[in-house]
Chains A and B, each alone.
Chain A
Amino acid sequence: MTSLTLVRRIRARPSIVFDALTTPEGIARWWGPDDGPVLLAETDPRVGGCYRVRFRMLDGSEHESSGEYLEVVRPERLAMSWRWAGGEEDPGESLVEIELRAIAEGTELTFTHSRLHNEETRRSHEEGWNGALDKLERHFLASSNEGRHDQA
């Protein structure tokens, strides 16, 4: 619940996936929440290097995010800080981590976006989440829906 994790199995070798993640040509082809264009992509994939990506959504709004590469291990692992320019969408800094694992069909990509980036978060990831928390989440969802209903 303190982080978002997504897993994709991709029919391509890890080095190809890694380059798609870290090169401006690659990023221009996939970055963003809809099919709107990437307007600018700058990367410097080495520890301490920065990236900056600006994209336009189909509704015409433009957004820019940037950050610093914290870990770069081609073709296995990538960690970077994340911040929105202007901060309207989400002020503050968060952490993006990507693991690439070679599998028979190509690559298993595990993507994590978390709010906190400190030792506690890492520990929390390692411990994982238990079923009780899924139930808790349902509980909160149910009560917040009730809240909305009351306001309507």
Chain B
Amino acid sequence: MVKCHEQLDRTFAALVDPTRRAILARLEREDGASVSELAKPCAIKLPAVMKHLDVLADAGLITRSKVGRVVTVRLSPEPMREAMDWLRRYQRFWSDSLDRLAAYAEGKEIEMQEKDR
């Protein structure tokens, strides 16, 4: 359980950075792109891209494999799926709660207006 919790924190921490999100979005289009291909359209230098890839790999969001001198990068879906499960659980919880909150507040508003009359 503790492990799972730490994994989730790592996933969300990795997703917070816009450059890392851009890298993941790029991989979604071109899974198996090489590191140098990934660095090309980025305004940042290769070492910075490598650092971002380290964070993504630590979070389990990507895997890297080396063939000769080329390092290719692939998405791995499991941590992302867990992160989205987390969000979906709370969506179910709060969506119904907020509907009832709205109905309750609207009833209070009507009471208040009738009192003022």
Contacts and interface: CB of A to CB of B under 8 A. Distances in A.
Interface string A109-127: 1010101100011011001
A140 B84 contact: yes
Interface in B51-109: 75, 77-78, 80-81, 83-84, 86-87, 89-106, 108-109
Given A12-B105, A29-B104, A91 B16 contact: no
Chain B CB within 10 A, most for which of A34, A111, A139: A139
A131 B13 CA distance: 20
A103 to B, nearest CB: 13
Given A2-B15, A30-B104, A106-B109, A91 B86 contact: no
Given A4-B94, A8-B98, A135 B25 contact: yes
A64 B100 CA distance: 19
B interface, by DSSP: helix, strand, loop or mixed? helix
B117 to A, nearest CB: 16
Contacts of A137: 80, 84
Contact of A109 (B80, B83, B98): B98
Given A1-B84, A34-B96, A135-B28, A17 B1 contact: no
B102 A10 contact: yes
Given A12-B102, A12-B108, A133-B24, 5 more contacts: A1-B83, A1-B87, A20-B101, A87-B1, A124-B18
Interface of A: 1-4, 6, 8, 10-13, 16-17, 19-21, 26, 29-34, 87, 89-92, 106-107, 109, 111, 113, 115-116, 120-121, 123-124, 127, 129-130, 132-133, 135-137, 139-141, 143-144, 147
